[in-house]
């Protein structure tokens, strides 16, 4: 059995993000991810995306490479990659975090990730990111 990895990236849409675009992304992702043993979630703030992918290393890296070639977004930045023992989002082929309260404990960290994306920066370590995402996933409203 292949080791599991967690991969987080941020990107910026080249066009305005609306509900129709998000639904299309989710429909494709949920089908593909179910077929390839990948789980994760997508967040959107303005024109910026944050996506967590987790699953077998080869499958996740192949998907990330495919996503990186998608011309609908740019400024694609790998924020972190780490080996994991257990999945964070084991129940979602691709969850979508529609909203989060900026007062919840992990919200500030998520807002900082979006700010890093806007500035084109990368976080320094995947392990703190994994911990923050585990806390955030408990608090978030996911569909």
pLDDT bin (cut points 50, 70, 90) of residue 130 is low
Contact 39, 90 (CB under 8 A): yes
Residue 67: the pLDDT is: 93
pLDDT bin (cut points 50, 70, 90) of residue 112 is low
Please write the tens of the pLDDT for every residue from 71-111. Answer: 988 989 888 888 888 887 777 777 776 655 555 555 566 66
Contact 114, 49 (CB under 8 A): no
Class of domain 4-142: alpha beta
Residue 142: the pLDDT is: 47
pTM of the model: 0.77
Residue 55: the pLDDT is: 95
Q: For the chain, which residues make up each domain, given as ranges?
A: 4-142
Residue 139: the pLDDT is: 53
Please write the tens of the pLDDT for every residue from 40-79. Answer: 888 888 888 888 899 999 999 999 999 999 998 898 988 8
Residue 86: the pLDDT is: 83
SS3 of 54-111: EEEHHHHHHHHHHHHCCCCEEEEEEEEEEEECCCCCCCCCCEEEEECCCCCCCHHHHH
Contact 54, 87 (CB under 8 A): yes
Contact 125, 80 (CB under 8 A): yes
Bigger pLDDT: 121 or 44? 44
């Amino acid at each position: 059995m292949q080791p599991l990895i967690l991969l987080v990236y941020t990107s910026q849409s080249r066009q305005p993000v609306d509900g129709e675009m998000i639904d299309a992304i989710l429909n494709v992702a949920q089908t593909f991810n179910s077929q390839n043993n990948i789980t994760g979630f997508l967040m959107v703030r303005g024109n910026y995306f944050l996506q967590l992918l987790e699953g077998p290393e080869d499958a996740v890296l192949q998907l990330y490479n495919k996503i990186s070639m998608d011309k609908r977004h740019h400024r694609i930045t790998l924020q972190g990659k780490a080996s994991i023992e257990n999945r964070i989002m084991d129940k979602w082929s691709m969850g979508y975090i529609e909203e989060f309260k900026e007062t919840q404990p992990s919200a500030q960290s998520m807002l900082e990730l979006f700010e890093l994306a806007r500035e084109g920066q990368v976080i320094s370590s995947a392990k703190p990111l994994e911990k923050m995402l585990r806390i955030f996933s408990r608090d978030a409203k996911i569909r």
